[in-house]
């Protein structure tokens, strides 16, 4: 029963955080001094009648005191009414959920890439501390953190799309999720919204290949952000664990190196990586906004960016709330993963 | 050191020299250490902290810390030379020949693995310790796993852990210090090693538990015929468990004898002082006799005999020439000029 | 407890020893200096004047970084942008530091304020920085000043948390208790003893954070928050240049490289600062 109580406790805590986020968001929408709450709902330059304005004021309960407005607002959130986005010409929640699979597909690829590369690199760097590999890894890692993501995306586009194309070599696409031509010729009925999975399941090979090719550059760009962090943390964690006494005992049993690393060291060293998984996801979501813009990837990040250009605060604020909710859920999943990996946590 | 009765020695250390790299310099931490452990006996290796006992012990399974290196001498375990071996060869030795029990069981047990798992993995390394279900047919993996687990539970029972089935499934942090140490001992025994090295294994435990563990070791020695290298600073433990004793000071062995002879008539002034320093209750007073001075810093050892600055019976040559070990009785060796330790 | 001046002295010595950190400092100072003098040396006409004849020329002896689609000298633009970007990043971090340290110290000393302040920082920290900055800036309006304000909001919680943690640990240390029993007044204790010893690990984060803020600022500017074409800023320069990336890659390469170099040197400095001032993190 330890695990259940643990989960419930975490859930309650995270619920409080969400409430707090909704307060901040509400304040941004309605409570900013000097900012007219209605401004976000009106397209600049478009004439709007007084009646329509009054109706809008009534709908948003703008004449009520702030605390009352807040209650209506939160009630609306819970019911699924997150406002209407001019940019998407859809209710905000619908717009976000509709484009979510594109972003998730990208983020998942980025996470897979960065962990698949980052964890082994971090382990190797720790095992060969201060030797050539370690130094190289650390250099790459700090370069990765310092690289502006949008610049990297543009450079990759330049090299892999333009220059390769110029040389007549097969190049990688730089825009969108799939070739328009392919989508027309080999239409896919989206089930999950994940193009790679849907096309694989449907046996639609051209679509699948095109989708994968389009994933490469954006996913790689996005993964670089977290790769550097994962490598650093894994290396530090591994170094810490390898100094521990129980590793000496494991060695004295005559266990070979790979057994010691995998069975004894890794489970202990991976906890700091998990701890930062939540923050890393947050950084990835922020990065997704930029990467989706660079590669014209139709996910929630690009939608939010378009909302900014359009002064659509309702959308942008809804996006913020959406992201916060996702992070909260991921943090919960990470906490549960903790309980699996480290038995001491269950008590 | 001469051998008596032609008894086979499980461990022979000869003129072992180990350097430690500290602050950019190599310091001679072990200087010409020699000792024997014979089959079935318990050798107590005593000395103050810093005398080099743990370092000597760690050299045997090749587990010296990163900044230490063996620079001379030889260590022969069951006749096989250890120094200069590669890591895979050392691993083989560590699995089958020598088991090390460390001082503080809490930090030496992996917190994320159950006790049973940490014992059972030994059988993964040495499947020959398990039985085949029928001759000629290799056991399946599941069968091996099951047997390994059963054996682990048996060894837990052997070290007198109550309810070993349940304990095997628990994690180290759920056990008391005494139980953890027993589990570590079980891990050592499960390998059926030729030599067990116990490094200050009761120091981190409180007195009652200490007594229990010592009792356990005593019993195991009788029942299993364990060959033991016992490292301690506590003469009481030596008196209780050891057959023979080697006394170390500042990186070298100054006297070695069987336990009775040592306690009755220690020759080396340091050994004598050690025995006198053990608190005794005489009449209605406790008498404490400390040894004046302190162990020399390894980086700057005194010339000649390392003990001479603190020695109440130092001779002129003690400050100049290092004494070599000499026989001063049956199976009783001393490195001291008082007994004619001058070379040549 | 090490006197602050002694720590700084030791830090400078370590800097001298670590050539990497020293090199990073040199690079950063060079860029900062260039940015500082740029508005003085470069006439505003460079930004305003359009010379179509010279548009999109590659780097040459005359225009070291080439020209953009308005015919403006990219070299001048990049260094004018350095002025803006560095001043904005540095002021954001400085402001966030001050706010965070004050509030963090408050949380550490005044128990009743601790819980509410921690809940507030929790909420702020649960939203990714870029996203939160976007939300705040979108409500305030698009300008560098509003972006800076948004970034301050995003950056202060971490310093607040760190400072609070430091204060709480330091308060319990034996020397503080000893001084208190000797009759040293609370205010004096705080100001002369606790604060100087707690500041260092918090401030050690600052260089790396300046780099982070710089990149976030440039990224937001790239997406569209940036000032118009007449106010040079690295991110918006990259955005403007992206349209011509295939014909004139230098438009994107030079501002991007500027961001990268600045951020790299700041991160290296940040590593060194953490090594020196926050020994807990040493391996």
Q: What is the pLDDT of residues A250-298, one digit of tens each?
A: 998 888 888 888 888 888 888 888 777 777 888 888 889 999 999 889 9
Residue C281 has a pLDDT of 46
- Average pLDDT of chain B is 83
Angle, in degrees to the nearest 10, between helices A195-202 and A205-242 = 130
- C72-94 pLDDT, tens digit each: 888 888 998 999 999 999 999 99
Q: Is C235 on the interface with A (CB under 8 A)?
A: yes
Q: What distance in Å separates the CA atoms of residue B181 and residue B167, rounded to the nearest whole number?
A: 13
Over residues B216-234, the mean pLDDT reads 88
Q: What does residue B205 show for φ and ψ, rounded to 5 degrees?
A: -110, 155
Q: pLDDT higher for A273 or A105?
A: A105
Among chain A, residues having any CB pair with chain B shorter than 8 Å are 244-246, 248-257, 259, 263-264, 267-268, 341-344
Q: What does residue A45 show for φ and ψ, rounded to 5 degrees?
A: 95, -15
Facing A245 at nearest CB: one of B92, B108, B187 = B108
Contacts 24+ apart (CB under 8 A), C278-281: C278/C200, C278/C201, C278/C204, C280/C201
Over residues A322-327, the mean pLDDT reads 87
**CB neighbour list of residue C134: distance below 8 Å, 6 or more residues apart:** A289, A304, A308, A316, A319, A320, C150, C220, C223, C225
Full 3-state SS string of chain C: CCCHHHHHHHHHHHHHHCHHHHHHHHHHHHHHHHHHHHHHHCCCHHHHCCCHHHCCCCCCCCCCCCECCCCCEHHHHHHHHHHHHHHHHHHHHHHHHHHHHHHHHHHHHCHHHHHHHHHHHHHHHCCCHHHHHHHHHHHHCCCHHHHHHHHHHHHHHHHHHHHHHHHHHHHCCHHHHHHHHCCCCHHHHHHHHHHHHHHHHHHHCHHHHHHHHHHHHHHHHHHHHCCCCCCCCHHHHHHHHHCCCCCCCHHHHHHHHHHHHHHHHHHHHHHHHHHHHCHHHCC
- Given a contact cutoff of 8 angstroms between Cβ atoms, the answer to whether B228 and B38 are in contact is no
Tokens describing residue C188: 């004096």
Facing C223 at nearest CB: one of A28, A285, A308 = A308
Q: Is C24 on the interface with A (CB under 8 A)?
A: no
- A208-257 pLDDT, tens digit each: 888 888 888 899 999 988 888 888 888 888 888 988 889 999 998 888 88
Q: Is C23 on the interface with A (CB under 8 A)?
A: no
Q: How far is CA A174 from the centre of its chain?
A: 20
How many angstroms away from the CA of B219 is the closest CA of chain A? 23
- C222-245 pLDDT, tens digit each: 988 877 778 889 999 999 888 888
Confidence of residue A89 (pLDDT cuts 50, 70, 90): confident
Residues of B in contact with A252 (CB under 8 A): 61, 63, 94, 99-100, 102
Residues of A in contact with C128 (CB under 8 A): 282-283, 285-286, 323, 327
Facing C259 at nearest CB: one of A17, A29, A151 = A151
- pLDDT tops 60 at residue B344: no
- The string over A25-47, giving b where at least 16 C-beta atoms fall within 10 Å of a residue's C-beta and e elsewhere, is bbebbbeeeebebeebbbeeeee
Tokens describing residue C229: 């074409």
Picking from A25, A126, A148 by the largest number of C CB atoms within 10 A of its own CB, the best residue to mutate is: A148
CB contact under 8 A, A246 and B110: yes
Residue C181 has a pLDDT of 82
**CB neighbour list of residue A85: distance below 8 Å, 6 or more residues apart:** A91, A92, A95, A307, A312, A314, A315, A318
From A216, A73, A230, select the one nearest A144 (Cα to Cα): A230
CB contact under 8 A, A268 and B111: yes
Burial of B244 (0-12, 13-18, 19+ CB in 10 A): buried
CB contact under 8 A, B107 and A264: no
Q: What distance in Å separates the CA atoms of residue A287 and residue A281, rounded to the nearest whole number?
A: 9
SS3 B115: helix
- pLDDT tops 60 at residue B4: no
Tokens describing residue B340: 């004619």
How many angstroms away from the CA of A279 is the closest CA of chain B? 25
Residue A347 has a pLDDT of 53
From C214, C273, C257, select the one nearest C85 (Cα to Cα): C214
Contacts 24+ apart (CB under 8 A), A128-137: A129/A239, A134/A235, A137/A231, A137/A235
Q: What distance in Å separates the CA atoms of residue A328 and residue A322, rounded to the nearest whole number?
A: 10
**CB neighbour list of residue C54: distance below 8 Å, 6 or more residues apart:** C63, C67, C71
Residues of A in contact with C123 (CB under 8 A): 17, 20-21, 23-24
Residue A310 has a pLDDT of 81
Q: Name the residue in chain B with its Cα closest to that of A347.
A: B174
Q: Is C282 on the interface with A (CB under 8 A)?
A: no
- pLDDT tops 90 at residue B229: yes
Tokens describing residue C62: 């005359």
- C99-152 pLDDT, tens digit each: 998 898 888 888 888 888 888 888 888 888 888 888 888 888 778 888 899 999
Complex ipTM > 0.90: no
CB contact under 8 A, A320 and C242: no
Q: Please tell me the least confidently modeled range out of A95-99, C173-177, C276-280.
A: C276-280
**CB neighbour list of residue A97: distance below 8 Å, 6 or more residues apart:** none
How many angstroms away from the CA of B103 is the closest CA of chain A? 10
- Given a contact cutoff of 8 angstroms between Cβ atoms, the answer to whether B334 and B255 are in contact is yes
Number of cross-chain residue pairs from A and B with Cβ atoms under 8 Å apart: 71
Picking from A242, A248, A249 by the largest number of B CB atoms within 10 A of its own CB, the best residue to mutate is: A249
Over residues B265-290, the mean pLDDT reads 70
The length of chain A in residues reads 347
Burial of A205 (0-12, 13-18, 19+ CB in 10 A): exposed
Q: What distance in Å separates the CA atoms of residue B240 and residue B219, rounded to the nearest whole number?
A: 12
Residue C92 has a pLDDT of 95
How many angstroms away from the CA of A190 is the closest CA of chain B? 43
Tokens describing residue A327: 């992070």
Residue C1 has a pLDDT of 42
- Given a contact cutoff of 8 angstroms between Cβ atoms, the answer to whether B46 and B54 are in contact is no
- pLDDT tops 70 at residue B279: no
Neighbours of chain B (3+ CB pairs under 8 A): A
Confidence of residue B1 (pLDDT cuts 50, 70, 90): very low
Q: Please tell me the least confidently modeled range out of A108-117, B24-33, B123-132.
A: B123-132
Cα separations in angstroms, A247 against A8, A120, A257, B125: 35, 19, 10, 16
Q: Name the residue in chain B with its Cα closest to that of A345.
A: B112
Facing B61 at nearest CB: one of A252, A256, A341 = A252
Q: What distance in Å separates the CA atoms of residue A222 and residue A285, rounded to the nearest whole number?
A: 9
Confidence of residue C255 (pLDDT cuts 50, 70, 90): very high
Chains C and B touch (3+ CB pairs under 8 A): no
Q: pLDDT higher for A15 or A103?
A: A103
Q: What distance in Å separates the CA atoms of residue C235 and residue C77, rounded to the nearest whole number?
A: 12
Confidence of residue C156 (pLDDT cuts 50, 70, 90): very high
Q: How far is CA A296 from the centre of its chain?
A: 16
Q: How many CB atoms lie within 10 A of CB C275?
A: 17
| Sheet (strand B68-77) strand order | B25-38, B9-22, B68-77, B80-81
How many angstroms away from the CA of A210 is the closest CA of chain B? 44
Q: What is the DSSP letter of B329?
A: S
- Given a contact cutoff of 8 angstroms between Cβ atoms, the answer to whether A251 and A214 are in contact is no
Q: What does residue B44 show for φ and ψ, rounded to 5 degrees?
A: -95, 125
From C273, C262, C250, C254, select the one nearest C56 (Cα to Cα): C250
- C3-62 pLDDT, tens digit each: 556 666 666 666 666 777 788 888 899 999 888 888 888 887 777 777 777 778 888 887
Residues of C in contact with A155 (CB under 8 A): 252-253, 256
Cα angle B44, B50, B54 (rounded to 5 degrees) comes to 45
- B96-111 pLDDT, tens digit each: 888 999 888 888 999 8
Residues of C in contact with A285 (CB under 8 A): 128, 131
Facing C238 at nearest CB: one of A154, A283, A289 = A154
- Average pLDDT of chain A is 82
- A135-190 pLDDT, tens digit each: 888 888 888 888 999 999 999 888 888 888 777 667 777 777 777 777 777 777 77
- Given a contact cutoff of 8 angstroms between Cβ atoms, the answer to whether C88 and C217 are in contact is yes
Cα angle A223, A322, A288 (rounded to 5 degrees) comes to 20
Q: What distance in Å separates the CA atoms of residue C190 and residue C184, rounded to the nearest whole number?
A: 10
Tokens describing residue A180: 């328009």
Residue C261 has a pLDDT of 93
Q: What is the DSSP letter of B162?
A: S
Residue B280 has a pLDDT of 61
């Amino acid at each position: 029963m330890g695990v259940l109580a643990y989960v419930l406790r975490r859930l309650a805590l995270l619920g409080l955080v969400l409430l707090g986020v909704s307060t901040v968001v509400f304040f941004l929408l309605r409570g900013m001094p000097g900012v007219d709450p209605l401004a976000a709902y009106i397209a600049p330059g478009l004439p709007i009648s007084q009646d329509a304005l009054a109706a809008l004021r009534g709908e948003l309960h703008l004449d009520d005191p702030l605390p009352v407005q807040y209650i209506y607002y939160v009630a609306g959130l819970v019911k699924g009414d997150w406002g209407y986005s001019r940019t998407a010409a859809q209710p905000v929640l619908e717009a976000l959920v509709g484009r979510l699979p594109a972003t998730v597909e990208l983020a998942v690829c980025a996470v897979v890439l960065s962990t698949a590369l980052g964890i082994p690199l971090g382990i190797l760097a720790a095992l060969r501390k201060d030797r050539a590999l370690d130094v190289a890894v650390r250099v790459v890692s700090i370069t990765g953190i310092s690289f502006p993501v949008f610049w990297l995306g543009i450079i990759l586009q330049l090299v892999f799309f333009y220059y390769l194309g110029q040389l007549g070599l097969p190049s990688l696409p730089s825009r969108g999720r799939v070739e328009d031509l392919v989508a027309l010729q080999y239409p896919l009925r989206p089930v999950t919204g994940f193009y790679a999975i849907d096309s694989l399941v449907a046996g639609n090979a051209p679509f699948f290949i095109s989708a994968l090719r389009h994933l490469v550059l954006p996913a790689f760009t996005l993964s670089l952000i977290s790769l550097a962090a994962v490598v650093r943390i894994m290396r530090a964690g591994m170094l810490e664990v390898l100094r521990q006494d129980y590793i000496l005992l494991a060695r004295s049993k005559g266990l070979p190196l790979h057994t010691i690393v995998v069975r004894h060291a890794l489970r202990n060293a991976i906890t700091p990586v998990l701890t930062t998984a939540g923050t890393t996801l947050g950084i990835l979501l922020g990065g997704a906004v930029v990467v989706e813009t660079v590669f014209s990837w139709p996910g929630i990040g690009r939608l939010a960016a378009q909302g900014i250009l359009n002064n659509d605060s309702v959308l942008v604020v809804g996006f913020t709330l959406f992201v916060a909710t996702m992070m909260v859920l991921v943090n919960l999943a990470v906490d549960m993963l903790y309980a699996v990996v480290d038995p001491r946590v269950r008590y | 050191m001469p051998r008596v009765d032609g008894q086979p020695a499980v461990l022979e250390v000869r003129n072992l020299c180990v350097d430690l790299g500290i602050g950019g310099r190599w310091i001679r931490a072990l200087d010409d250490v020699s000792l024997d452990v014979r089959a079935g006996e318990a050798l107590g290796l005593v000395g103050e902290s810093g005398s080099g006992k743990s370092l000597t012990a760690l050299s045997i399974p090749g587990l010296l810390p990163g900044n230490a290196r063996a620079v001379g001498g030889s260590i022969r375990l069951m006749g096989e030379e250890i120094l200069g071996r590669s890591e895979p060869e050392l691993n083989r030795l560590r699995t089958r020949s020598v088991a090390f029990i460390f001082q503080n069981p809490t930090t030496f047990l992996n917190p994320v693995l159950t006790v049973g798992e940490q014992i059972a993995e030994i059988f993964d390394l040495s499947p020959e310790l398990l039985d085949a279900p029928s001759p000629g047919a290799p056991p399946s993996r599941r069968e091996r796993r099951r047997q390994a687990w059963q054996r682990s539970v048996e060894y837990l029972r052997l070290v007198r852990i109550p309810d070993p089935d349940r304990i095997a499934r628990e994690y180290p942090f759920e056990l008391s210090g005494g139980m953890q140490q027993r589990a570590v001992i079980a891990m050592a025994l499960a390998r059926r090693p030729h030599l067990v090295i116990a490094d200050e294994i009761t120091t981190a435990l409180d007195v009652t538990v200490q007594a229990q563990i010592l009792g356990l070791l005593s019993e195991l020695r009788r029942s299993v015929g364990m060959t033991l290298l016992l490292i301690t600073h506590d003469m009481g433990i030596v008196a209780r468990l050891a057959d023979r004793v080697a006394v170390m000071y500042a990186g070298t062995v100054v006297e070695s004898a069987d336990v009775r002879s040592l306690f009755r008539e220690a020759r080396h002034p340091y050994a004598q002082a050690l025995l006198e320093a053990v608190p005794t209750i005489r009449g209605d007073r406790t008498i404490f006799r400390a040894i004046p001075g302190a162990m020399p810093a390894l980086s700057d050892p005194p010339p000649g005999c390392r003990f001479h600055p603190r020695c109440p019976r130092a001779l002129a040559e003690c400050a100049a020439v290092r004494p070599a070990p000499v026989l001063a009785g049956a199976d009783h060796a001393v490195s001291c000029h008082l007994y004619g330790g001058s070379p040549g | 407890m090490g006197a602050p001046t002694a720590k700084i002295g030791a830090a400078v010595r370590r800097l001298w020893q670590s050539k990497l950190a020293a090199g990073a400092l040199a690079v950063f100072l060079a860029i900062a200096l260039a940015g500082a003098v740029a508005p003085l040396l470069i006439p505003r006409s460079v930004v305003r004047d359009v010379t179509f004849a010279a548009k999109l020329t590659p780097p040459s002896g005359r225009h070291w970084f080439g020209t953009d689609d308005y015919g403006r000298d990219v070299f001048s633009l990049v260094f004018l942008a350095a002025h803006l970007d560095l001043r904005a990043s540095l002021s954001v971090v400085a402001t966030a530091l001050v706010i965070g340290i004050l509030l963090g110290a408050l949380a550490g000393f005044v128990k009743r304020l601790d819980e509410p302040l921690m809940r507030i920082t929790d909420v702020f920290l649960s939203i990714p920085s870029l996203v939160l900055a976007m939300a705040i800036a979108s409500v305030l309006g698009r300008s560098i000043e509003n972006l800076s304000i948004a970034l301050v909001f995003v950056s202060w919680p971490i310093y607040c948390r760190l400072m609070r943690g430091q204060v709480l640990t330091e308060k319990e240390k034996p020397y503080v208790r000893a001084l208190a029993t000797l009759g040293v007044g609370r205010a004096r204790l705080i100001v002369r003893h606790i604060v100087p010893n707690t500041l260092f690990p918090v401030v050690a984060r600052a260089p790396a954070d300046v780099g982070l803020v710089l990149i976030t600022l440039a990224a937001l500017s790239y997406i569209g928050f940036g000032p118009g074409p007449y106010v040079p800023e690295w991110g918006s320069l990259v955005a403007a240049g992206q349209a011509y990336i295939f014909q004139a890659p230098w438009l994107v390469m030079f501002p991007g490289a500027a961001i990268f170099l600045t951020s790299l040197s700041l991160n290296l400095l940040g590593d060194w600062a953490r090594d020196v001032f926050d020994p807990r993190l040493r391996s």
